[in-house]
Structure 1
Amino acid sequence: MKRLNTIMIVVFAVFIGGIACMNLLADDQPFSQAENRPLMEFPKVSLDRITSGAFTKDVETYLSDQFVHKRFWTSIKATAQKVVLKKDNNGVYFGEDGYLFEKFKPPSEQLDANSESISRFLEKTKGVSVYGLLAPTSIEIYPDKLPKFAQTASETAAIQRVEEQVKGDISWIDATGALKAAKEQPIYFHTDHHWTTHGAYVAYRAAMEKMGMAPLSSDEFAIRTVSKNFRGTYDAKANDPSVESDEIDVFEPKFHVSYDVDIDDGQSKMDSLYAWEFLEKRDQYSLFLGGNHRAVTIHSNVKNGRKLMIFKDSYAHALVPFLANHFEEIYMVDLRYDHRDMAQVVKEKEIQDVLFVYNIAGFAEDENLIWLRQ
């Protein structure tokens, strides 16, 4: 028995030492394709940062980000978690029917601050029609698919809180009600936090009704599956090898329409609302408009003189291909990267309609709506 214990200790020490050597010898990676985010570089060393504890905290993040073969080890962890009947891995719940869900935390003061930022914007844009669409994530639509005793706050309550707090002339679009009514359709990805094009179409119809415009029938689009191997942000966190990939569909107009897409003031241009090259990458959701940009301008051949400005997160990317068939010009602004005086921009561009499109989980933590207060 003693000899066996000694062998096990030696094997374990060699294993740990081998992993440590691999981490020391491996080159740091600047970006994770699996998680679609930049990875932490080795933090700067200073006496102040050491004494404050900031350096130690950053080193922990760095080691976690740069851990060699991280996807392999987290997949083993996910499998082990399920074997011992754990409900989640890295904060992502294992739901029924292959769904993954991320817990919605009770909103903090940031949500209230964002409501105030919209109110300030409304004060400066009187006479402009402003609409708000705060979308729930899949956890609000499919609570019946959550594991037993899973804890999550109410996204519906958070949306209602924003609608009650925002002061000024704004029309709220009931995306939650429309999505719940269509929950039997494939309106959310299983492995990602976004809605699908089917979910975006449901929200589009609700938006058109609120904006006093007639939505296009689904029969006016050819629905085509363009990917069968999409794995999104929830999959990157949970890394459960037993979960199947998602499909991505696109709605292609059967009628004649053309688009001229200008990205970041001419840095690049597209004649389509889809960046097809992303289907060959991990981040396939960036198929829609090429992902996140500071500002995107879309000109269509819909010559009705209507101009729409959208303040948004990435939920808007699957929605805009429907909206673009109703407006001559659409201006998309991402406040993470664009810090202009937006009330002035609305005036200069003679915008008649403004639309806020955010998922409530992202909106509740977004620190960039403060730029609307300029």
Structure 2
Amino acid sequence: MKRKFNANIIVFVFFAVFVAFGLYGDCLKSVKDTAKDSFEHLKSKDSTAVQSFIDGVDKVTTEQLSYHDMLMDINSVKYLLTNTRVVHKDDTVVARADSGSLIGVIPEMSDSQLNEVTEKIEGLKNKAEESGAKFLYFAAPCKEMYEKAPSNVKTYALQNFDSFIQKLNERKIPCCDLRAALSESGIEQENYFYITDHHWRPTTGFAMTGAICRELDSRYGFPYDAEKLKIENYTVNNYEKWFLGSKGKKVGTYFTPSGADDFQIIIPKFDTLLHEDVPYSNVSRSGDFETISYYKDHCRTKDWYGKNPYAAYSGGNFRLQIIKNELANNGKKVLLIRDSFACTVSPFLSMQTAELHIIDIRDFVTYEGERFSVFDYIDRNKFDYIIVLYSSVKEMTTSDSMYLFDVAF
């Protein structure tokens, strides 16, 4: 007679090893390897074994063990084994798309909400033109527009974005929908964005820098160096499984079968010399592109839950950052009003300008320095071009004040 598989033995042995290693400290990697082996073993058994494993995970995660990272990873396998595709965490919802990529849930925006946003952008456009600058709004699509959500999730990312572009055009606001540039970039659609994060990959940001320069040139005669927009003139260093994005951090590494994302650092093969000022952080320094554009403390070590490698580009999110190109440039002074999608754009754009002033007016408590009025900043400076790079579109009350260009508080 065939003996019944006793799942409790596996659960007991696994968690005994887990707690023992945890208590005595130094073998986290071994524990993770043990965990992965146990997961594979359990998946090959019957449903009783899987359920027993899940119950064991639930029991341990409710106890006060200080092994956050590992417990998150174990819990993520529970989600994967039970095909749980939607998780409510804190004040957000994370869903696993049909592709395995992690996405958010985007609520529908009303016509009046869209009008409120576009009215603010129109005000900025008028201010820019009154100052003598050329204005252009770059609308970056969000990841949710390219993914199929679970059947029990309704997301309005594509509908909102289409309506937003229509509103901008109706108001005759100079705008560029970057979807066409993405489709023409030569990058496969599944590689536009990270799997565990909402941002686009550095290679996508690099390609969009080229699209921005070409659009500015097409509309306004913006001079740029095309050679510096060719990826073959750069070294792309790949760090395998180095980055767990913001959505992955909320649900655990193995909520998606692919696990953590690879991370790329893109470095020019040609000579560069830049000067960076970050007024609110008392930073003033000169150096080559790699020294100025990359804050490598964010990615020097692999730490899925403790580090944010995406912030290595441009240092993440600063209230104000000024980059001056001290080698050959086009003599143009550009103001870039941005959200975090510009982290992987502004370093490469800085090599196409004399001065690139980068402003992030989102109302985040982690930012150093008081939030200031973009209108006042325009009055104090003479810019040749004023551009905005924002991803998707957000309702005013949940936009972290990113559309309040004329307000300081």
TM-score where L is the length of structure 2? 0.67
Work out which structure has the larger RCO, using CA pairs closer than 8 Å and 6 or more positions apart in sequence: 1
Match of 1:218 among 220, 226, 231: 231
Q: What is the distance in 1 between the residues matched to 2:272 and 2:152? A: 46
TM-superposed CA distance for 1:169, in Å, is 5.8
CA contact (8 A) 2:339 2:389 kept: yes
Q: What is the distance in 1 between the residues matched to 2:238 and 2:284? A: 25
TM-superposed CA distance for 1:306, in Å, is 0.5
1:312 aligned partner: 338
Q: Percent identity?
A: 18
Gaps of 5+ in 2: 1-61, 364-369
**Structure 1 pair 369–190 and aligned structure 2 pair: CA distance change class (3 A):** closer
TM-superposed CA distance for 1:258, in Å, is 1.4
CA contact (8 A) 2:337 2:388 kept: yes
Superposed CA deviations along residues 106-148 of structure 1, whole A, max 9, x for unmatched, are 12565543322111222222232111122222222243xx44x
Of residues 111-120 and 71-80 in structure 1, the stretch that sits farther from structure 2 once superposed is 71-80
CA contact (8 A) 1:141 1:183 kept: no
Gaps of 5+ in 1: 1-63
1:39 aligned partner: none
Helix, strand or coil at the partner of 1:173: strand
Is 1:353 aligned to 2:385, yes or no? Answer: yes
Helix, strand or coil at the partner of 1:207: helix
Q: What is the distance in 1 between the residues matched to 2:206 and 2:403? A: 30
1:372 aligned partner: 405
Q: What is the distance in 2 between the residues matched to 1:94 and 1:322? A: 32
CA contact (8 A) 2:160 2:393 kept: no
TM-superposed CA distance for 1:184, in Å, is 4.2
TM-superposed CA distance for 1:173, in Å, is 1.9
Helix, strand or coil at the partner of 1:250: strand
Superposed CA deviations along residues 149-185 of structure 1, whole A, max 9, x for unmatched, are 2534343432332333347664222212222443346
Match of 2:273 among 258, 276, 296: 258
Is 1:343 aligned to 2:363, yes or no? Answer: no
Helix, strand or coil at the partner of 1:299: strand
**Structure 1 pair 206–67 and aligned structure 2 pair: CA distance change class (3 A):** farther
CA contact (8 A) 1:187 1:197 kept: no
Is 1:288 aligned to 2:313, yes or no? Answer: yes
1:85 aligned partner: 83
Is 1:273 aligned to 2:281, yes or no? Answer: no
Q: What is the distance in 2 between the residues matched to 1:99 and 1:200? A: 19
TM-score where L is the length of structure 1? 0.72
TM-superposed CA distance for 1:69, in Å, is 5.5
Q: Alignment length, in residue pairs?
A: 307
Q: Root-mean-square deviation (CA), in Å?
A: 2.9
CA contact (8 A) 1:123 1:168 kept: no
User: Which runs of structure 2 are paired with 1:199-238 in the superposition (5 Å)?
Assistant: 199-212=204-217, 213=222, 214=224, 215=226, 216-226=229-239, 228-238=241-251
The AA in structure 2 aligned to 1:331 is: H
Q: What is the distance in 2 between the residues matched to 1:357 and 1:186? A: 20
Is 1:299 aligned to 2:355, yes or no? Answer: no
